[in-house]
Structure 1
Amino acid sequence: MDLSRRGFFKVLGAGGAAIGTGFGTANASEIPAPSEDSLGCLVDTTLCVGCRKCEQACNQRHNLPAPEESFEELTVLEKERRMDETSYTVVNKYYPENIGTLTWRERPTFVKFQCMHCNDPSCVSACIVGALTKQENGAVIYDAKKCIGCRYCMVACPFQVPAYEFDNALTPQVRKCTFCFEYVKDGGLPACAQVCPREVITFGKRKDLLHLAEWKMKNNPDKYVDHIYGQHEVGGTSWLYLSSEPFETIGFPKLSDDPPPRLTEKIQHSLFQYFAAPVILYTFLGGVMMATGFMKNGKKKISDKPSQKGDTHES
């Protein structure tokens, strides 16, 4: 045997550690708990008139390129828009719809959209280099210096928020709402919440915003649908919404309460538990066979066997 006793136990120990690591990984995940002091915004869509002041304030604070049409131009609301690398927030206009036998309000609903700053962000989970991080105050922020441009965050986001600078060939970045992090951490307000003339956006601690939303719904049951969007969707978001219309009719996706990262981790962990461990085991056994010369000895025995041609003797 070519493998010494000490070498054999080294191989055995390495294989055992690998298998142990595989099972350990399968049970390592925990759902991160949001901070009690995390901040957020409550958007009461029943108050919004679509003035686009929030878009303008966001554009100016972040030095974004000017839009093709001025912010006073309200005809742009007739077409549904999405956030992009030049617009961190947009307002859309939705006309009333008939849902079954119910006819909802006659006036259109205006809805402001931006990054939702999820409690358990899919973009953060998907980022392989840590360019996106969830802060204690609730903001999901981006570090361009770490980004490698893989754009996994764009695929992972359930709200389709992150946008990529495809036109920037040299230093492209992923762009999205920052929750005005640099201002908020010093006690300031997000630009959109600060400028809103109708006080559509209420900024504060998320737990207090939930209490406010519940109070509004309780005292105005005919005004609001009985749902706070963002309270539970994808594990909860920092941005919360009230509406007089069903949310699925005003641009909001219908999502599970489970955070997507928990689902993907369950899949990964199942693979580790039921697939990776056997692979590691067979790899380990193969390594032992090679190290002990089993394969070499087997080949040698086959080669030492005389061929049928060699067994034939001339008479």
Structure 2
Amino acid sequence: MSSSTIDYGKTKTFLIDTTKCTGCRGCQVACKQWNQLKGEKTTFFTGEGYQNPPQMSEFTFTRVKFKDYEKHGQNEFAFYKEMCMHCNDPACASVCPVGAFHKTPEGPVIYNAKKCIGCRFCMVACPFGVPKYEWSKAFPLVKKCTGCYSRVKNGLHPACATACPTAITYGSRDEMLKEAEKRMAAKPDRYFKVVYGKEEAGGTSVLYLTQQPLDELGFRPVTKRPLPSYTWQALRFVPGIFLTVGGTLSLVTWFQHRKDRVRREEEERNSRKEGNQ
């Protein structure tokens, strides 16, 4: 199904209310457990804040960011969960030469590792800096939050939303936008008058409510225009011969990559058989 045929109002969406986040990191732990991601050796203080791990990686799909600020002469903390934004019209999918990314009707933008050739175009295209490279592997691919698609398609909430005691609400995008507007109207002094993700990058399946201005919290300023439109606008000026050659090289690389992966899997199976004998 192409993204143009998806009813975005019905896609499952996160509403993350940063005014209710306590910084407990329960979402981080739940994400690690569900996705079976190993722990990383990290440093508590990074210079940017007190978040730990210091950044998302192949082993960390989500993290709680700590932003310190001054209020009434006192030092205060604001927290918010950083994750894949699951864009309505994802830039990562538009630049991937082998179609390894796609937006699902349920909401998550998912990734097929079997198709990936490790070109890292998605990392360059993503305005939120989400996809991460597998630097720990000899034949690296990319990794990112899946939106717990295997759970969502079976009627469950993502692991992080299930674990969060206060800050994350999960439902259809239309419902989450209405809830965000309702909260801002009920407590106008509590919220900054912007729902981040409502229009950024053409709209996303992750929405944020904040108390502070977005730039003070470190949210990236992103165009409201869907990013694939910029992708194709740029590609219009690339001579067809380069696109053809690039596509051919990508295909050759994909076959070689797949052959290497199949070989490694076969070697691992043979090694396990020998160990069981």
TM-score (norm 1): 0.69
Q: Distance in 2 between matches of 1:131 and 1:97?
A: 44
Aligned counterparts, 1:12-91, within 5 A:
32=4, 34-35=6-7, 36-68=9-41, 78-79=50-51, 81-91=54-64
> Is this contact kept in 2: 1:51–1:74, CA < 8 A?
no
Contact 1:85–1:163 under 8 Å retained in 2: yes
Q: Distance in 1 between matches of 2:6 and 2:197?
A: 14
Alignment counterpart, residue 117 of structure 2, candidates 148, 165, 185: 148
Unaligned runs of 5+ in 2: 241-277
2:164 corresponds to: 196
Deviation at 1:259, TM superposition (A): 1.6
- 1:240 equivalent in alignment to 2:232: no
How is 1:1-315 mapped onto 2 (pairs within 5 angstroms)?
A: 32=4, 34-35=6-7, 36-68=9-41, 78-79=50-51, 81-96=54-69, 107-170=76-139, 172-197=140-165, 199-269=166-236, 271=237
Count of aligned residue pairs for this structure pair: 235
Residue 61 of structure 2 aligns to a residue in which SS? coil
Deviations 1:84-110 (A, max 9, x none): 101000111111258xxxx79953110
Q: Which amino acid aligns with 2:234?
A: I
- Identify if the C-alpha distance between structure 1 residues 247 and 38 changes in structure 2 by more than 3 Å, giving closer, same or farther: same
| Offset at residue 64 of structure 1 (A) | 0.3
Displacement, 1:82?
2.2
1:253-292 C-alpha deviation (Å, 9 max, x unpaired): 11110122112212334x38xx87xxxxxxxxxxxxxxxx
Q: Give 1 or 2 for the bigger CA radius of gyration.
A: 1
Deviation (angstroms), 1:32? 2.8
**Alpha-carbon distance between aligned partners in 2 of 1:150 and 1:104, rounded to the nearest angstrom:** 48
Q: Matches of 1:213 and 1:152 in 2, distance apart?
A: 33
Residue of structure 1 equivalent to 2:260? none
Runs of 4+ that moved beyond 3 A:
73-77, 103-106
What's the C-alpha RMSD, in Å, of the aligned pairs? 2.4
Secondary structure of the equivalent of 1:64?
coil
User: Conserved in 2, the CA contact under 8 Å of 1:104 and 1:245?
Assistant: no
In the superposition, the TM-score normalised over structure 2's length comes to 0.79
- Say which SS state the counterpart of residue 146 (structure 2) adopts: coil
- Counterpart CA distance in 2 for 1:97 and 1:246 is 13
Equivalent residue letter for 1:181 = Y
SS of the residue aligned with 1:94?
Answer: strand
Structure 2 match to 1:22: none
Task: Name the CA distance, whole Å, in 1 between partners of 2:167 and 2:51.
Answer: 22
Unaligned runs of 5+ in 1: 1-29, 277-315
In 2 relative to 1, CA 228–33 (structure 1 residues): closer, same or farther, beyond 3 Å?
Answer: farther
Q: Partner of 1:112: helix, strand, or coil?
A: strand
- Structure 1's 31 and 169: CA in aligned 2 closer, same or farther, altered over 3 A? closer
Q: CA deviation at 1:135?
A: 0.5
